[in-house]
Structure 1
Amino acid sequence: MKITVIGGTGLIGSQLVSRLGKAGHEVVASSLSTGVDLLTGEGLDQALDGAETVVNVSNSPTFDAASPDFFRTTVGNLLAAGERAGVRHQVALSIVGVDQVPQLDYYRAKTLQEELVRSGPTPYSIVRATQFFEFMDAVLSWTADENAVRLPSTPVQPIATADVVAALAGVATAPPLNGTLNVAGPDVFSLDELGRRTLAARKDERAVVIDEQAGMFAAVEGDVLVARPGARLAPTRYEDWLSAAR
C-alpha cells in the first residue's frame, strides 16, 4: 500500500514513516523540508500521487487564535488534493476531549479540523490521543522558575508517542473507520502529580505547587482529557518510559 504521511519528518510522523516502511508499505514523508507546503498547496499533488491513504500529523506553528485559520486552509488544501489524486482514506490525528475545551484556541482549531475531515469528500478515520509523555518537559517549562513549578491538578492520561504511532499505523492500513478511535495511556494522574514524578525521576529538587490558574491546562474543566470507556489503552507506563529515557 502507498501511504503519504503529512508532517512525516516530525516527532510522530518520522516514527510512523519508519514503522510503515518496515511493515513493507511504500511510504512518502511529506513536510515543508521535502517541498510540500500545506498552506499554499505547493507540492501536494506530487506527494499524493498514487497514494491510497493519507495520514495527517502536521500541526499548527502556534497554539493561539491563528491556529483555526491554519487548519481551515491546510485541511481544505489536503482534502482537495486527495480528491484529485484518488485517495481512498484520510487519517487525521487529534486529541481526546478536544471538543470539550472551547476556552482554548488550539482545541477549537483541532475541533474544526475534525469537522472538516468528517464533512470532506473522502472516507476518513480520526485518531484521538491523550497528551504525549514527550511533551511533559514543555508543560513544566511554561510555569517554572528556579525554585518551583506551578501546575493545576487537571486529570490527564498521558501516552507514549510510540503507542500513538502504533495506533495510527493500524488505522492507516485498515479500512476507513468513518469515525473516531480514542487511544490513551494506561494510567490517570493529576497534572501536578505527573510533574512531581517527572522531577523526581530527573533528580530535580524543585517543588511542584498546585496552582489551578497556571499554564494552558488551567482552562480545562473536570476530567475531559481522560479517555472515556471504550478507548484503546496503550501498554507503556509513564514510570517505565521515564526509566528508559534515563
Structure 2
Amino acid sequence: MKIVVIGGTGLIGSKLVARLGELGHEAVPAAPNTGVDTLTGEGVAEVVDGASVVIDVSNSPSFEDAAVLEFFRTSTGNLLAAEEKAGVGHHVVLSVVGAERRPDIGYFRAKNAQEALVEESGIPFSVVHATQFFEFAHRIADEATDGDKVRMPPVLFQPMAGDEVAQAVGAAAVGAPLNGRIEIAGPERFRMDEFFRTALTAWGDPREVVSDPHARYFGGEMQERNLVPGEGATFGKIKYADWLASATS
C-alpha cells in the first residue's frame, strides 16, 4: 500500500521509508526538499492522493514557543485537510513521552496541540510517544553546556535508538489504527546526569557533567518522571553502549 512519510528525509523518516520499502510498501518520502511543504500546503494534496496511510515525523525548524506552536498547528491542519479529501484511512504521528504531563513547556504544548488536531479530525489515527533518541545525545549535551560544564538534572531518563523508533512507528502504520497512543522507550533507565557523565567519558569529551536540579530541558525544569514512560510501554532492545560501539565502528 502507499504510505506517505512526512519528514521522510530526516533521521527517523529516512529509516521508515527504507523499512517500509523492504516490507513491500510504496513508501513515499515527503519533505520540503522533495517539493512537499506542509506549512505552506505546497504539494500536500498531490502526495497524499491514493495514500492508505500518512505518517508524520516532521519537526519544526524552530523550537521557540510561538514558532513551534504555529508550525505544528498549521502543518498538521494542512495535512489533515488534504488527507480527508483524499480519503486517507490512517494517520500516524510521532510525539514525545511526557508531552501531556508538561503543557507549561512550549515544545510539549505544541505537540499536545498537534495531537489534539489529529484526535479531533475524524481520521483514524495512532500516536506513538517516544523517549529521546541516542542520535541526539550530543545535541542535548551541547544545549546544556555552560562554559566547560554540562548541567543536567538528576531525573529519570530512558533514551532509545532511532532504528527502534522507526520500527515501532512502522509497525503502528501497517497495523489497525489505535485511535489512541502508545509509549516506547529504550531498555535501560538512567539518571539523566549519570547517563551524560558516562556518555561524555565514552566520547572522550573533557566537559564536566554537573548535577543541577534546576537545569532546564526543553525550556523547563524537569521533574522525576517527566521523561520516562508509564505502565504498558514497549521497550526496545538496543542498549546505548552497544549502539555507540556500532555507530563508531
**Partner of residue 8, structure 1:** 8
Identity %: 49
Query: Please, which of 225, 228, 246 is the counterpart of residue 226 of structure 1?
Result: 228
Q: Could you tell me how far 1:88 is from its partner in structure 2? A: 0.3
For the aligned residues, what is the CA RMSD? Answer: 1.2
The whole-number CA distance in structure 2 between the counterparts of 1:24 and 1:53 is 14
**Partner of residue 110, structure 1:** 111
The whole-number CA distance in structure 2 between the counterparts of 1:182 and 1:230 is 8
Q: Could you tell me how far 1:145 is from its partner in structure 2? A: 4.9
1:72 aligns with 2:73: yes
The whole-number CA distance in structure 2 between the counterparts of 1:56 and 1:202 is 32
1:242 aligns with 2:249: no
Q: Deviations over 1:64-107 (max 9, x none)?
A: 22211111111111110001111000000001111111231000
Q: Could you tell me how far 1:60 is from its partner in structure 2? A: 1.1
The whole-number CA distance in structure 2 between the counterparts of 1:40 and 1:21 is 28
The whole-number CA distance in structure 1 between the counterparts of 2:229 and 2:211 is 23
Letter aligned with residue 92 of structure 1: V
The whole-number CA distance in structure 2 between the counterparts of 1:206 and 1:60 is 29
Q: Secondary structure at the match of 1:205?
A: coil
**Partner of residue 82, structure 1:** 83
Letter aligned with residue 237 of structure 1: K
The whole-number CA distance in structure 2 between the counterparts of 1:3 and 1:182 is 22
The whole-number CA distance in structure 1 between the counterparts of 2:165 and 2:50 is 26
1:180 aligns with 2:142: no
Letter aligned with residue 185 of structure 2: A
User: Superposition pairs for residues 52-201 of structure 1, below 5 Å?
Assistant: 52-65=52-65, 66-145=67-146, 147-201=148-202
Contact 1:142 1:215 in 2 (8 A): no
- Give the paired residue count: 246
**Please, which runs of 5 or more residues in structure 2 have no aligned partner?**
none
**Please, which runs of 5 or more residues in structure 1 have no aligned partner?**
none
Q: Could you tell me how far 1:222 is from its partner in structure 2? A: 2.1
The whole-number CA distance in structure 2 between the counterparts of 1:19 and 1:181 is 20
Moved more, 143-152 or 49-58: 143-152
**Partner of residue 28, structure 2:** 28
Contact 2:216 2:222 in 1 (8 A): no
Q: Secondary structure at the match of 1:139?
A: helix
The whole-number CA distance in structure 2 between the counterparts of 1:90 and 1:64 is 26
**Partner of residue 215, structure 1:** 216
Q: Secondary structure at the match of 2:145?
A: coil
TM-score of the superposed pair, with normalisation by structure 2: 0.95
